[in-house]
């Protein structure tokens, strides 16, 4: 015989409504009570009837997540945080890839609207007109893009770039190249703001691109960096930076003796590269969890305009060193 919510409530010594909140809106229940209810539910093998809950609440207990590119190794850590937090809140996650295309992204939001309670957009590529078309279709939370009067989880992109500039300046570099990401990227615009720190150090910054945020683009950009005469390069993301490292190795340019390389995102491959890549950790998994919390607050009509801000951290590894003399 199937275990019911009444069985869980009786075994945990709480009301049925408390069990329901502990499993569907855990932030509304004290941590001690929440842990006890979950432990009892797991021990008894209780599984919530999501269809029945949907009939009562009008909710699907589904969340949509759209990313620009599933092949980009940065997004799995973010999705891991989304999935973990959604599971804790007894929600399923629908995932889609917009292929770096704002029009496709808008179409995916429209397609998901009737199947999910809300959508999380990671590094949205939509233009302002495209955003206007979808903002009223379903509750939306943005990661790594600020949209006026809309909830979002903001990563410290400008701060991360400032840390990279300070690091290179301390190593004696006076000419760095920056490899721009996609023209439509809000993230790229924020990272460019951090480059203003170079003026304080008397450092010249040569802007190259825009480039697609891919390995091959980094290989192409490496030749341009060498032609520009820079002694250091900051790439829009780690995938591009790994392409730079590969091309420099092909050309026999030693890193960091001749060229220092900095990426951004701290993907798992960054530490495995040769040399290991200096990069900016943007707390991707933490951002995913924060986005789910923010969306659940929006759905519960609590604090729906809050914008959590996450701190970045420069991870110094072997790809950066003193400027060549």
Per-residue pLDDT tens over the stretch 185-213: 899 999 999 999 999 999 999 999 999 99
Structural domain includes residue 54: no
Cβ–Cβ < 8 Å for 163, 314: yes
Q: Within this chain, do residues 169 and 212 fall inside the same structural domain, yes or no?
A: yes
Taking Cα atoms as reference points, which of 53, 33, 74 lies closest to residue 215? 74
pLDDT at 58: 57
Does residue 53 register a pLDDT over 90? no
pLDDT band for 47, please (50, 70, 90 cuts).
Answer: confident
Domain count, the chain: 3
pLDDT at 55: 42
pLDDT band for 57, please (50, 70, 90 cuts).
Answer: low
pLDDT at 304: 55
Q: Within this chain, do residues 67 and 42 fall inside the same structural domain, yes or no?
A: no
- Cβ contacts of 199 within 8 Å, gap of 6 or more: none
Residue 321 DSSP class: -
Cα atoms found within 13 Å of the Cα of residue 222, Cβ hemisphere only: 27
Sheet of strand 260-262, all strands in order from the earlier edge strand to the far edge:
204-208, 175-179, 232-235, 260-262
pLDDT at 305: 57
Q: Within this chain, do residues 174 and 145 fall inside the same structural domain, yes or no?
A: no
pLDDT band for 1, please (50, 70, 90 cuts).
Answer: low
Q: Within this chain, do residues 295 and 149 fall inside the same structural domain, yes or no?
A: yes
Structural domain includes residue 29: yes
Does residue 56 register a pLDDT over 70? no
Structural domain includes residue 320: no
pLDDT at 90: 86
pLDDT band for 16, please (50, 70, 90 cuts).
Answer: confident
Q: Identify the top-confidence range among 37-46, 51-60, 142-151.
A: 142-151
Taking Cα atoms as reference points, which of 144, 189, 156, 128 lies closest to residue 291? 144
CATH code at position 255: 3.40.50.2300
Q: Within this chain, do residues 122 and 270 fall inside the same structural domain, yes or no?
A: no
Structural domain includes residue 272: yes
If you compute the radius of gyration of the chain from its CA atoms, what whole number of angstroms results? 23
Range of the domain at 22: 5-48
pLDDT at 279: 98
Structural domain includes residue 239: yes
- Which whole number is the average pLDDT over 304-312? 73
Kindly state the greatest CA–CA separation across the chain.
77
Does residue 99 register a pLDDT over 60? yes
Determine the 3-state secondary structure of 171 from DSSP.
coil
Cβ–Cβ < 8 Å for 108, 98: yes
Structural domain includes residue 89: yes
Q: Within this chain, do residues 67 and 31 fall inside the same structural domain, yes or no?
A: no
Taking Cα atoms as reference points, which of 279, 272, 270, 269 lies closest to residue 157? 279
For 179, the token pair is 């490899």
Structural domain includes residue 325: no
Does residue 254 register a pLDDT over 60? yes
pLDDT band for 83, please (50, 70, 90 cuts).
Answer: very high
- Which whole number is the average pLDDT over 289-309? 80
Structural domain includes residue 317: no
Q: What is the mean pLDDT of the chain?
A: 91
Range scoring the smallest mean pLDDT among 21-30, 44-53, 74-83, 274-283: 44-53
Flag whether the pTM goes above 0.85.
Answer: no
More confident residue, 29 or 150: 150
């Amino acid at each position: 015989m199937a275990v019911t919510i009444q069985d869980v409530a009786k075994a945990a010594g709480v009301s049925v409504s408390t069990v329901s909140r502990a499993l569907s809106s855990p932030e509304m229940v004290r941590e001690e009570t929440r842990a006890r209810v979950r432990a009892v539910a797991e021990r008894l093998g209780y599984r919530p009837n999501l269809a029945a809950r949907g009939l009562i609440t009008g909710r699907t207990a589904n969340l949509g997540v759209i990313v620009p590119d599933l092949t980009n190794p940065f997004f799995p850590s973010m999705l891991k945080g989304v999935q973990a937090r959604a599971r804790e809140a007894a929600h399923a996650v629908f995932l889609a890839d917009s292929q770096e295309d704002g029009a496709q992204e808008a179409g995916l939001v429209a397609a998901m609207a009737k199947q999910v309670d809300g959508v999380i957009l990671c590094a949205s590529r939509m233009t302002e007109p495209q955003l206007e078309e979808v903002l009223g279709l379903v509750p939306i939370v943005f990661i790594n893009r600020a949209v006026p009067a809309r909830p979002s989880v903001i990563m410290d992109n400008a701060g991360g770039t400032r840390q990279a500039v300070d690091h290179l300046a301390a190593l004696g570099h006076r000419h760095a190249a920056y490899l721009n990401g996609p023209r439509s990227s809000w993230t790229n615009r924020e990272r460019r703001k951090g480059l203003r720190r170079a003026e304080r150090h008397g450092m010249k910054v040569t802007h190259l691109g825009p480039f697609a945020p891919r390995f091959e683009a980094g290989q192409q950009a490496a030749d341009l960096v060498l032609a520009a005469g820079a002694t250091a390069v900051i790439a829009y993301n780690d995938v591009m930076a790994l392409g730079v490292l590969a091309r420099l190795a092909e050309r026999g340019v030693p890193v960091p003796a001749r060229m220092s390389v900095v990426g951004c995102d701290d993907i798992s491959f960054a530490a495995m590269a040769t040399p290991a890549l200096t990069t900016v950790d943007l707390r991707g998994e933490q951002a995913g969890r924060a986005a789910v919390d923010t969306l659940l607050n929006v759905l519960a009509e609590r604090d729906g305009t809050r914008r959590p801000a996450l701190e970045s951290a420069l991870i110094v590894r072997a790809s950066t060193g003193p400027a060549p003399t």
